[in-house]
Amino acid sequence: MSRVLVAMSGGVDSSVAAALLVEAGHEVVGVTMKTFCYGEVPGHGKTCCGLDGIADAQRVAAALGIPHFVFDVEEEFTRDVIDDFVSEYGQGRTPNPCVRCNSNTKFRDLMARGRALGCDRIASGHYVRIEHRRGESALLRGRDERKDQAYFLWGLPPQLLPSLLFPLGDLTKPEVRSRARALRLTTADKPESQEICFVPTGDYRDLLERRLGPVHPALEPGLLVDRQGNVLGRHSGYAGFTVGQRKGLGGGFPEAMFVLEIRPESRDVVVGTREETLSNYVEVGHLNWLAQPPPDGSSVHVQLRHRARPVPATMAVTGDTLGLTLQTRTAAVTPGQSAVVFDGERVLGGGLIAAARSQAASA
Amino acid sequence: MSLIYLDHAATTPLREEVGAAMAPYLEGVFGNPSSQHRWGREAAEALASARARCAEQLGADPSETYFTRGGTESDNLAILGFVARLRGDGLTPTLVISAVEHHAVLDAARHVTAREAGRLVILPVAPDGSLDTAPLERALAEGPTLTSLMWVNNETGMVMPVPEVAARTSAAGATLHSDAVQAAGKVPIRMDEVAVDLLTLAGHKIYGPKGTGLLYVRGGTHLSPLLHGGGQERSLRPGTEDVAGAVGFATALELAVTERTVEAPRLQALREALEGHLIGSVPGLRIHGEKAPRAPHITSVGIPDLDGQALRAALDLEGIATSGGSACSSGGSSTSHVIAALYGEDDSHAVVRFSVGRSTTEEDIVRAATVTAATVARIRAAGGA
Band (pLDDT 50/70/90 cuts) for residue A37 is low
Pairing verdict, β B65-68 and A311-318: unpaired
Contacting B residues, span 136-175, partner chain A, CB-CB under 8 Å: none
Give the 3-state DSSP-derived string for chain A, with helices as H, strands as E and coil as C: CCEEEEECCCCHHHHHHHHHHHHCCCEEEEEEEECCCHHHCCCCCCCCCCHHHHHHHHHHHHHHCCCEEEEECHHHHHHHHHHHHHHHHHCCCCCCHHHHHHHHHHHHHHHHHHHHCCCCEEECCCCEEEEEECCEEEEEECCCCCCCCHHHHCCCCHHHHHHEECCCCCCCHHHHHHHHHHCCCCCCCCCCCCCCCCCCCCCCHHHHHHHHCCCCHHHCCEEEECCCCCEEEEECCHHHCCCCCCCCCCCCCCCCCEEEEEECCCCEEEEECCHHHEEEEEEEEEEEECCCCCCCCCEEEEECCCCCCCEEEEEEEECCEEEEEEEEEEECCCCCCEEEEEECCEEEEEEEEEEEECCCCCC
Q: Give the model confidence (pLDDT) of A214-233 as tens digits.
A: 789 999 999 999 999 999 99
Per CB distance under 8 Å, which residues of A are interface residues toward B? 29, 32, 34, 51, 54, 58, 67, 69-72, 74-75, 112-113, 115-118
Please give the Cα distance from B248 to B210 (Å, whole number): 10
Span B190-216, average pLDDT: 98
Query: What phi and psi, each to the nearest 5 degrees, are found at residue A27?
Result: -85, 115
Q: Give the model confidence (pLDDT) of B124-163 as tens digits.
A: 999 999 999 999 999 999 999 999 999 999 999 999 999 9
Contacts of A67 in chain B (CB under 8 A): 313, 316-317
Q: Give the model confidence (pLDDT) of B280-312 as tens digits.
A: 999 999 999 999 999 999 999 999 989 899 999
Where does A3-182 sit in CATH, by number? Answer: 3.40.50.620
Span B350-359, average pLDDT: 97
Question: Bigger pLDDT: B382 or B233?
Answer: B233
The pLDDT score that the predictor gives to residue B347 is: 78
According to the CATH classification, is domain A220-273 in 2.30.30?
yes
The pLDDT score that the predictor gives to residue A47 is: 45
Contacts of A72 in chain B (CB under 8 A): 309, 331-334
Percent of all residues in chain A with a pLDDT value above 90, rounded to a whole number: 75
**pLDDT higher than threshold 80 for residue A162:** yes
The pLDDT score that the predictor gives to residue A195 is: 76
Spell out the domain ranges in chain A: 3-182, 220-273, 277-357
The pLDDT score that the predictor gives to residue B334 is: 60
Rounded to a whole number of angstroms, the distance from the CA of B347 to the nearest CA of chain A is 15
Band (pLDDT 50/70/90 cuts) for residue A45 is very low
Please give the Cα distance from A112 to A108 (Å, whole number): 6
The pLDDT score that the predictor gives to residue B382 is: 80
Inter-chain residue contact B382 with A115, CB threshold 8 Å: yes
Candidate from B330, B334, B379 with C-beta closest to A116: B379
Q: Give the model confidence (pLDDT) of B11-54 as tens digits.
A: 999 999 999 999 999 999 999 999 999 999 999 999 999 999 99
Contacting B residues, span 359-378, partner chain A, CB-CB under 8 Å: 378
Amino acid B321 reads A
The pLDDT score that the predictor gives to residue A363 is: 43
Of B3, B171, B328, B366, which residue is the catalytic one? Answer: B328
Please give the Cα distance from A9 to A216 (Å, whole number): 34
Contacting B residues, span 284-323, partner chain A, CB-CB under 8 Å: 307, 309-311, 313-314, 316-317
Question: Bigger pLDDT: A43 or B357?
Answer: B357
Taking CA atoms, B314 is separated from A118, B338, B365, in Å, by 8, 24, 17
The pLDDT score that the predictor gives to residue B330 is: 40
Contacts of A78 in chain B (CB under 8 A): none
Amino acid A324 reads L
**pLDDT higher than threshold 50 for residue A277:** yes
The pLDDT score that the predictor gives to residue A2 is: 84
Task: Quote the mean pLDDT of chain A.
Answer: 91
Contacts of A5 in chain B (CB under 8 A): none
Residue of B330, B336, B376, B380 to mutate, testing the A interface (most A Cβ within 10 Å of its Cβ) = B330
The pLDDT score that the predictor gives to residue B331 is: 43
Question: Bigger pLDDT: A334 or A362?
Answer: A334
Please give the residue of chain B at the shortest CA–CA distance from A31: B313
Task: Quote the mean pLDDT of chain B.
Answer: 95
Contacts of B316 in chain A (CB under 8 A): 67, 69
The structural domains of chain B, ordered by start, are: 4-12+262-381 (3.90.1150.10), 16-255 (3.40.640.10)
Question: Bigger pLDDT: A215 or A304?
Answer: A304
Reported for B85-88, long-range contacts at CB under 8 A and 24+ positions apart, including other chains, are B85/B222, B85/B223, B85/B224, B86/B144, B87/B117, B88/B224
Please give the Cα distance from A302 to A326 (Å, whole number): 8
Taking CA atoms, A200 is separated from A30, A76, A196, in Å, by 24, 20, 6
Interface membership of B224 toward A (CB under 8 Å): no
**pLDDT higher than threshold 80 for residue B326:** no
**Whether B328 is catalytic:** yes
Q: Does residue B201 contact residue B71 with C-beta atoms inside 8 Å?
A: yes
Output the pTM of the full model: 0.89
The pLDDT score that the predictor gives to residue B332 is: 43
Candidate from B307, B317, B383 with C-beta closest to A29: B317
Where does A277-357 sit in CATH, by number? Answer: 2.40.30.10
Span A62-86, average pLDDT: 93
The pLDDT score that the predictor gives to residue A251 is: 75
The pLDDT score that the predictor gives to residue A230 is: 93
Percent of all residues in chain A with a pLDDT value above 70, rounded to a whole number: 94
Q: Does residue A68 contact residue A8 with C-beta atoms inside 8 Å?
A: yes
